[in-house]
A and B are shown apart, each in its own frame.
Chain A
Amino acid sequence: MKALYNYLKEVAFAFVSLANGLLLTLKYFVTPWKSIITENYPDNRANPSVADEFAGEVILIHDENNEHKCTACTLCQLACPNNSIQIISKQVETEDGKKKKVLDKWVYHLEMCTFCKQCIDACPQDAIKMTNSYELSCFDRSTLTKILNQPGSKLKEKPKVTAKVQE
């Protein structure tokens, strides 16, 4: 008798437990407007749900006068674990005859970058940042090697006042 009771109890438990799961999936099935969580990706390009903080491609910040803050100190290049940064600098002569190292090319190898933020962390001038771009694939590998400083851009001069104080 006991065995029969246990047997029936087990069968009843089996049905109840299975029905429980079925109810959950049915709930999702009949309320798709609430339950569906996937995004219609290529359609929602206009307002993607990517956080501003998302660490994508590295860019060199340029202001409205086409000036950047990079002093070509190569600290980011040293910090990068993947050698995806190459700082090419050149010597120029300033008005007062001094030789000065300025940035010539800020070469960024996107194909080798792992978005680890080490370069951002290393930069003493806060000259670079990461954008939240995520559509980085392309058909031609060579387009992934980028020169980040815009043509004609130059180093942002430090405000004169602070320069005097430093002197």
Chain B
Amino acid sequence: MISMIQFSDVLAWIHQLLSSCMAPWLVFLIELVVASVAAVVALLVCVIIMVYMERKVAGHMQLRHGPNRVGWHGVCQLFADIIKLLLKECFTPTRADKLLFVVAPVLSLCVSLLALAPISWGPGLVLWNTNIGVLFVTAISSMGVIGILMAGWSSNNKYALMGAMRSGAQIVSYELSAGLSIVAIVALAGTLNTGGIIESQANGWWILKGHLPAFFAFIIYIIASTAECNRAPFDLAEAESELTAGYHTEYSGMQFGIFYLNEYINMGVVSMVASTLFLGGWQPFYLPFDFGWAHAFNDIMALKFMETWPAWISWVSLAWPLVWFFGKLFLIIFFMMWFRWTFPRLRIDQLLKLEWKYLLPLSIVNLVIIALIVVLGLHF
């Protein structure tokens, strides 16, 4: 990225400005709060777009218009729904475990928001620049199942319990192959830091540079993460035609809304991780070849032509990595939606068979091949 103004410059400038008039602990506190609120708000905006997108994608794939009543092409439908959910009573069944029942949605929301911390949104734009970023995300995302189990157990409903049990089995299994395909890229990049992984793809995304094994790892990751998010065709936890609504059968009002939100946040986080690891995060597309027009293409992608422009225009280039980041995010999300609205659901034993008999051995073999590639230095 050879743009003139970087996010790190802007952030450093803000930091200096604050430090010049405040005590260091106050600066830290303000920065912490502002940064986290900004990240959560950015994610919520993404979720709003995702929900709208899901409805439109589902609608158009099913020969319908999708929402088209509230606002222009139904863009305000979600807000109407949120108001409805907020106004509805949060009903708690009589024999339910009251405390856990209330805690479960909040807990799963917290867990999925936590996974947001080490995500790198743009160059230098990262909430928690830690050297164990990817490890942290994998660790946190496996905790999501606790909220689901809690919801299923505390509802005192057989459907909910079965949904939660299925979800537990499913997430624990698919964690493995998701983790192994993440490890494959970590081995290629040589770092666990999300920013570092993205920077290592400046000369080509891993999905291109890492030969076929990286591509396999990508496919395995997409399958496994779809399963981890409980999305169709792996939506056994809420299998509508079998368990009515699965683990959130008994939830209503905003408690249900939180589970709904949670599903989309999970999707967002998973897609962010996928784009970070395989598609170069906020890096623009780069051809890892060495001939005439490939160079020209890469120069355009890196906005080289902007260097000669006046400084005030080059501010625009700040948005360039964000465009790529969100573009990839929504591309992966579109794929997940596309799968959901096309495929039938798997059965629980087929689901576990797919993981333990096919994906897990495949990803282990894949990891070994990638390790060989790294050791022999075969990647670009």
Which positions in A face B, CB cutoff 8 Å?
18, 21-22, 24-26, 28-29, 32, 35-38, 40
Smallest distance from the beta carbon of A85 to chain B beta carbons, Å?
A: 39
Q: Are B63 and A25 in contact (CB under 8 A)?
A: no
Which residues does chain B contribute within 8 Å of A35, judged by CB atoms? 60, 63
B residues touching A (Cβ–Cβ < 8 Å)?
Answer: 57, 60-65, 68, 338-339, 341-343
Q: Are B60 and A36 in contact (CB under 8 A)?
A: yes
Q: With contacts A22-B342, A28-B62, A28-B63 known, what are 15 further pairs, Cβ within 8 A?
A: A18-B342, A21-B342, A22-B339, A24-B342, A25-B342, A28-B60, A28-B61, A29-B57, A29-B61, A32-B60, A36-B60, A36-B64, A38-B63, A38-B64, A40-B68
Q: How far is the CB of B174 from chain A (nearest CB, A)?
A: 18
Query: Chain A interface mostly helix, strand, loop or mixed?
Result: helix
CA distance A143 to B263 in the complex (A): 47
Given contact pairs A28-B60, A29-B57, A40 touches B65 in the complex (Cβ within 8 A)? yes
Cβ-closest 7 pairs across A and B: A25-B61, A25-B342, A32-B60, A29-B60, A21-B342, A37-B63, A38-B64
CA distance A84 to B343 in the complex (A): 48
25 CB contacts below 8 A, A to B, read: A18-B342, A18-B343, A21-B342, A22-B339, A22-B342, A24-B342, A25-B61, A25-B338, A25-B341, A25-B342, A26-B338, A28-B60, A28-B62, A29-B338, A32-B60, A32-B65, A36-B60, A36-B63, A36-B64, A36-B65, A37-B63, A38-B63, A38-B64, A38-B65, A40-B68
A22 x B338 contact (CB < 8 A):
yes
Contacts of A24 in B (CB 8 A): 342
Q: How far is the CB of B363 from chain A (nearest CB, A)?
A: 15
Residues of A within 8 A of B57 (CB): 29
A163 to chain B, nearest CB (A): 59
Q: Give Cα distance in the complex from A119 to B212, angstroms.
A: 74
- List the B side residues contacting A36 at CB < 8 Å: 60, 63-65
Q: How far is the CA of A36 from the CA of B65 in the complex (A)?
A: 7
Chain A residue with minimal CB distance to B233?
A18
- Enumerate chain B residues within 8 angstroms of A25, measured Cβ to Cβ: 61, 338, 341-342
| Chain A: minimal CB distance from B316 (Å) | 30
Q: How far is the CA of A38 from the CA of B343 in the complex (A)?
A: 22
B60 near A21 with CB under 8 A, answer no
B66 to chain A, nearest CB (A): 9
Which B residues are in CB contact (< 8 Å) with A21? 342-343
Residue numbers in B under 8 Å from A18 (CB-CB): 342-343
Q: Which residues of B contact A22 (CB under 8 A)?
A: 338-339, 342
Contacts of B343 in A (CB 8 A): 18, 21
**Nearest B residue to A23 by beta-carbon distance?**
B342
Residue of A18, A25, A28, A32 with most partner-chain B CB within 10 A: A25
Query: How long is the Cα–Cα vector from A35 to B64 in the complex, in angstroms?
Result: 8
Residues of A within 8 A of B61 (CB): 25, 28-29
Residue among A29, A37, A40 having the largest count of chain B Cβ atoms under 10 Å: A29
Residue of A with least CB distance to B341: A25
A125 to chain B, nearest CB (A): 46
Give the most central of B57, B61, B339: most A CB within 10 Å: B61
Complex interface: chain B residues within 8 A of A29 (CB) = 57, 60-61, 338
Question: A24 to B64, alpha carbons, bound, how many Å?
Answer: 15
Closest chain A residue to B335, Cβ basis: A22
Q: How far is the CA of A35 from the CA of B63 in the complex (A)?
A: 5
- Residues in A with CB closer than 8 Å to B60 are 28-29, 32, 35-36
